[in-house]
Amino acid sequence: MVTMVTVGYGDVLPITAIEKTVCVILMLVSCGIFAYSMNTIGNILENFNQEEMEIAQKMEVINTYMSKKNVNKQMQYGIRKYLDYYWREASERDSEAEEKIIQQLSDSLRENLLIEANKIVLK
């Protein structure tokens, strides 16, 4: 605890009872803040890896299925590439929120947006 707030090192030391009490309280609060920060960082890393683990688990299921059914290697490769792309794109989009926002646009703006967004398919 002393190391966290660097109290007790160097020239400035708590001497009176009030100073010591303030230092102890400061050290305890600093420990709490440090623990909270570490927990938050851990949760961020866990959420980041969770998506990758879900994709890997789904990929394992489809690989097992294709092996059991003796699907040729070229077809397996194409299926894996497509599913990997599809799952990653699906996780990045919130289609319900997108639809709600698009529905709020006027008819002409909505049509223009959809044409512009889907111009590759239309071509």
On the 0-12 / 13-18 / 19+ scale of CB atoms within 10 A, 4 is: middle
Q: How far apart are CA 108 and CA 114, in angstroms?
A: 10
pTM (predicted TM-score): 0.46
pLDDT digits (tens, 9 = 90+) for 14-70: 789 998 898 889 888 888 888 999 999 998 888 878 888 888 999 999 999 999 999
Among 18-22, 26-30, 74-78, 82-86, name the one with the lowest average pLDDT.
26-30
Q: What is the pLDDT of residue 122?
A: 65
On the 0-12 / 13-18 / 19+ scale of CB atoms within 10 A, 24 is: middle
Residues 6 or more apart whose CB falls under 8 angstroms from that of 8 comprise 2, 14, 23
